[in-house]
Chain A
């Protein structure tokens, strides 16, 4: 073929390629470097995608959506009066993490969960870290989710956070940073497993080209962990998932995990407590339960101890827990570690308990309760991200550069009136990843939530949930705020 014809062909292919005019645009792009050269571990993916026309890609996208809808892989939107279920938008392009990068992440996460569990044990026992003034006591006294009444109480195997979903982001240099630790009831792992299933159906041949580490072992690891924490090391414990019920936004996940583990899913009304033992009502009578993977926050767990108005909980379950007859994952009282003020101190915990430097750094953070920090925060509100210490799901948050003046002034008042409960961070230029939207590829901001299981050993699902802010320019990846997700691949090798 004459050289000019080949050139013409290449040019035509480039025009047709849905990646034709894709630009990383001043951000760290997961797929392309600064000069728009594809990163080595994405090369094979790019080749495959370029061979598909936008129509063919769109067909696959529809195929994926139909799969999710038919399987009822949906979440409920609270603000919607219809209580409608929606599918969690899924983007076709997988995020790829080479082995060496994952090793680094994994080491950082193991270090962090270890320190957090040591911290919680210390906090609920001798409080050495407070005596040594590594964390000012006042912050603990003011912590909303610190459960004083459990000081001196021993949890099975001394594990507090069994299941953790730590949110990671990358800045404009590509460095991984920890954004927050979710040590109560992190959700989303079912999407990791379902996204993988779906992508395998939609792009079977892609998997053959890469060595992708499987994620399917998660339910088994979780079940092993739950059995490991059974009261008094009981050999064949009865384990169940405790859900707030079908109207909870994550019900699909609760039911999914129960199904995958082959255990019962129970609601509060299925359980009763007799003589400090927990039983579930079955067709054969009352069957004793030993371990609960509870997806209900502390506050709603037991109306006799915490919120009286909770109709979701089980009256008397805390008494059974204290008596050591039921194990809960996660343990009661881990919420204190989710406090965004405590987050600030995690690097100090790592140093204090492990005598190590953090492998995964925090995002730089200012505490509004510290006078110097407060001044800085108030002077720089339009540039900063301000977060309430005990909110989640993208609520109670100001993104300075994207906020209206009135919004900024509202947060100025909030921060001033309650400095203990606010922190601020610089507005990060989060990394972006190509997403297939409206027939072409566009860059969207992403984060990463790996799921960490802390049992007999620490196991981390290879990859985790990559969440995408699908709205153009948006930095908020939460599903309740228009976020979507991607399949996340950790490679056996580096490309």
Chain B
């Protein structure tokens, strides 16, 4: 597969996953605001600016800080083209990526991403957003989930699909760990009441679509350590860090054909180590190290895997050894 194509598939996937994550996070925070007693500006600032931080953004447009109220922040995260990581910007990028690889993806995938893009940039999305944000986010999430479902069921599961998995799981691991990281930040300097904390942690769970799962597994009140255990170490929950790391590692091994326990490039070495580390850690280990530090370390590791994938597959150095030998034709009798 062409390196440029692999790169586009990877970014298409990352951008779709990112848009969906932003939608979920913004929506959940909005719901949260309804639950928190209205304490005006200070609280608004407390709840909205970290959302931006968690999405890895500087809260400013053209160097000017944005107002920390709900309206300005959601606008910034959803529609602002000047914010490269707004939902609209992610959709534009994903659709542009898809457009460059249309011959690699299924026709249904292209139609779905194109339709979502046309909708989100058009008048009717704006109207829906102004009328009822809940409906807007529902529709947006469904459209993006539909895209992932279509990808799963209509695209051939070969290299291209694996690069899509890489993008998806790296992005997802990044968002889950950032959400946790952000909460720990907040907890440390926060003087909020215990009740507020529970609401915050509930919001984290809901941002990861993990509310029901949590209840099912633990059947207890929301406790930060258990939330962390679910979101970091659970191996079957699809938004947990470990789940992402395992699937990332599998995709890398499908691409190279190298079995687990060995590696043929730097990306595999790093991902293999990460999976091993997560497999042989308990939440107490992480807690003893300091959860905040542990989550920070995870982020650094995922970033390193991303860079290694780029160096291995996308922009490898050109050497004579890189030339693939041609298969000689066996002369027919």
Contact = CB atoms under 8 A, between A and B. Distances in A.
Looking at B1, B2, B115, which has the most chain A CB atoms within 10 Å of its CB? Answer: B2
A251 B329 CA distance: 35
Contacts of A255: 99-100, 102-103
B100 A246 contact: yes
A90 B314 CA distance: 40
Nearest to A258: B103
Interface in A236-286: 236, 246, 251, 255-256, 258-259, 264-267, 269-270, 272, 274, 279-286
A287 interface: yes
Interface string B1-35: 11111100000000000000000000000000000
B26 to A, nearest CB: 27
Nearest to A281: B3
A269 B3 CA distance: 10
Given A246-B99, A283-B255, A286-B318, A267 B4 contact: yes
Interface in B300-333: 313-314, 316, 318, 320, 322-324, 326, 329
Size category, B interface = 20 to 34
Interface stretch (A7-15, A67-75, A365-373, A462-470): A67-75
A376 to B, nearest CB: 49
Contacts of A269: 4
Interface in B61-113: 96, 99-100, 102-103, 107, 110-111
B255 A70 contact: no
B43 interface: no
B114 interface: yes
A25 interface: no
A72 B322 contact: no
Contacts of A265: 103
B103 A284 contact: no
Given A264-B2, A267-B4, A284 B324 contact: yes
A288 interface: yes
A235 interface: yes
Size category, A interface = 20 to 34
Given A69-B118, A71-B110, A282 B1 contact: yes
Given A246-B100, A288-B326, A282 B118 contact: no
B2 A270 contact: yes
Nearest to B321: A285
A42 B163 CA distance: 52
Contacts of B5: 264
B3 A282 contact: yes
Contacts of A69: 118
A287 B99 contact: no
B159 interface: yes
Contacts of A258: 103
B99 A285 contact: no
A283 B323 contact: no
Nearest to B103: A259
Contacts of A286: 318, 322-324
A285 B323 CA distance: 6
B265 to A, nearest CB: 11
B163 to A, nearest CB: 8
A236 B329 contact: yes
A285 B318 CA distance: 8
A72 B100 contact: no
A285 B159 CA distance: 14
Nearest to B329: A235
Contacts of B329: 235-236
A251 B98 CA distance: 13
B100 A272 contact: no
Given A71-B110, A286-B322, A281 B103 contact: no
Given A71-B111, A72-B110, A255-B103, A283 B4 contact: no
A259 B103 CA distance: 4
A283 B159 contact: yes
A286 B1 CA distance: 10
Interface string A30-49: 00000000000000000000
A246 B314 CA distance: 19
B103 A70 contact: no
Contact of A266 (B2, B159, B316): B2
Nearest to A272: B318
Interface in A387-438: none
Nearest to B113: A72
Contact of B3 (A259, A274, A283): A283
Interface in B241-268: 255
A286 B118 CA distance: 37
Interface of A: 69-72, 235-236, 246, 251, 255-256, 258-259, 264-267, 269-270, 272, 274, 279-288
Interface of B: 1-6, 96, 99-100, 102-103, 107, 110-111, 114-115, 118, 159, 163, 255, 313-314, 316, 318, 320, 322-324, 326, 329
16 contacts: A70-B114, A70-B118, A235-B329, A246-B96, A251-B99, A264-B2, A264-B5, A267-B4, A274-B323, A279-B323, A281-B4, A282-B324, A283-B2, A283-B6, A284-B1, A286-B324
Given A265-B103, A270-B2, 17 more contacts: A71-B111, A71-B114, A72-B99, A235-B329, A246-B100, A255-B99, A255-B100, A264-B103, A279-B323, A280-B2, A282-B2, A283-B313, A284-B1, A285-B323, A285-B324, A286-B318, A286-B322
Q: Which 9 A-B pairs give the minimum distances between C-beta atoms?
A: A259-B103, A285-B322, A283-B313, A258-B103, A281-B3, A286-B323, A255-B102, A285-B324, A286-B322
